[in-house]
Amino acid sequence: MRAYLAYLSKRLVQFAVVVFVGINITYLVTHMTPINPVEQSISAATTYGATSPEAIEMMRQSLRQLYGLEGTPWEQYVAFWKRVLVGDFGPSLSAFPTPVSQLILRALPWTVGLLLVSTLLTWILGNLLGGLAGYYRNSRILKAFGVLSMGIHPIPYYVVAFVLLIIFGFLWPVLPISGGATMASDRSNTFAFALDVVVHSILPVLSLMAVGIGGWFMGMRALVSNIVTEDYVVYAELAGVKRGKILRSYVMRNALGPQVTGLALQLGAIFNGAIITEQVFGYPGVGSLLISAVHAGDYSLVLGITTVSIVAVSATVLLIDLLYPLIDPRVEAR
């Protein structure tokens, strides 16, 4: 138990470091330009209609604090952090006066749902098939699948999403290509609504899976090929333990550890892919929100999403790290 607590505290420290450095990078980036984004944003937002002077002042106030224009550089930095820690990014400029946090919260479930489903499916399926491919080296089906998945894997998310969009949008329009659910649908009937959501998520999920699965497949296959030559597997085979049991308890169990670590490492990249995939399919998650915020010049929203992304991804990685000892009992001894 003591070993686990030591491990836990190490991971928590790493989490804090990651979030701290990440948000600092964000802060640094925002200060790279000589132009003043505050005035720019305000003028962009106010050209579209009459906004009351109090509203403009409130915007300006929060933007100045977020950007860090008030006071000395140190005070700016502190003011920035104060706001970030509370999660108060002020009002969104493009959807004034809705606070940024509210917009993010509205979009977040969509992204989380998409990511959760596609990541889990990809990871499980990829590892399963890769493990089988590593063990049953002569299976032609597995070899074919390997070639296919590894062929798609290097292609960036955007291209795959776009190709799927073309196929299902123009050539064979059987699946919806935009939106999280049908517009103006009746959300009271939960089952019908849930089904609608699922149907709308098929293409984005498929897109993410197509790119991701090759990576897990390849990694797992290589891992399993190596593990199969390890003494404890050879010994179990010598003892006549059934193939199925060896595959499950001896081979896969030992290969899972590195793959879980791999998942933690890939999460940032998967998130990036989700952003662009949402954009292509008009999926109402945090990704689409980010892109439209950039187009609208909504500084506070962009900053808010960036910060939340950093924290969310780091927190998920922390969670995965904490679950790791359950899979590999040796980690306590390290």
197 is an interface residue for another protein by CB under 8 A? no
Of 68-76, 79-87, 115-123, 235-243: span binding another protein (CB under 8 A): 235-243
| DSSP H helix total and E strand total for the chain | 13, 0
Q: Label each residue of 240-268 as H, E or C.
A: CCCHHHHHHHHHHHHHHHHHHHHHHHHHH
249 is an interface residue for another protein by CB under 8 A? yes
Between the CA atoms of 19, 20, 25 and 31, what dihedral angle is there, to the nearest 10 degrees?
130
153 is an interface residue for another protein by CB under 8 A? yes
Q: Nearer to another protein by C-beta: 62 or 277?
A: 277
Q: What 3-state DSSP class applies to 91?
A: strand
From the list 7, 8, 14, 46, which residue makes contact with another protein (rule: CB under 8 A)? 14
143 is an interface residue for another protein by CB under 8 A? no
309 is an interface residue for another protein by CB under 8 A? yes
Q: Which of residues 21-40 bind another protein (CB under 8 A)?
A: 21-22, 25-26, 29-30, 32-33, 35, 37
What is the enclosing helix (H) or strand (E) of 142? Answer: helix 140-152
Q: Nearer to another protein by C-beta: 32 or 50?
A: 32
DSSP class of 329:
G
279 is an interface residue for another protein by CB under 8 A? yes
Rounded alpha-carbon distances, angstroms, from residue 316 to 41, 252, 266: 33, 23, 11
Q: Contact, 252 vs 75, CB < 8 A?
A: no
Q: Say whether the peptide bond before residue 34 is cis (omega within 30 degrees of 0).
A: no
d(CA 27, CA 268): 19
From the list 2, 52, 138, 170, which residue makes contact with another protein (rule: CB under 8 A)? 170
From the list 302, 319, 322, 324, which residue makes contact with another protein (rule: CB under 8 A)? 302
Q: How far is the CB of 21 from another protein (least distance, A)?
A: 4
Site size for another protein (CB under 8 A): 79
Of 44-52, 121-129, 183-191, 274-282: span binding another protein (CB under 8 A): 274-282
From the list 18, 108, 202, 206, which residue makes contact with another protein (rule: CB under 8 A)? 18
From the list 71, 97, 109, 151, which residue makes contact with another protein (rule: CB under 8 A)? 151
328 is an interface residue for another protein by CB under 8 A? yes
From the list 79, 133, 210, 275, which residue makes contact with another protein (rule: CB under 8 A)? 275
Encode 229-238: b = buried (16+ Cβ within 10 Å), e = exposed.
eeeebeebee
d(CA 245, CA 182): 46
Q: Contact, 150 vs 221, CB < 8 A?
A: no
Between the CA atoms of 109, 111, 114 and 117, what dihedral angle is there, to the nearest 10 degrees?
-70
260 is an interface residue for another protein by CB under 8 A? no
Q: Nearer to another protein by C-beta: 162 or 193?
A: 162
From the list 56, 128, 264, 322, which residue makes contact with another protein (rule: CB under 8 A)? 264
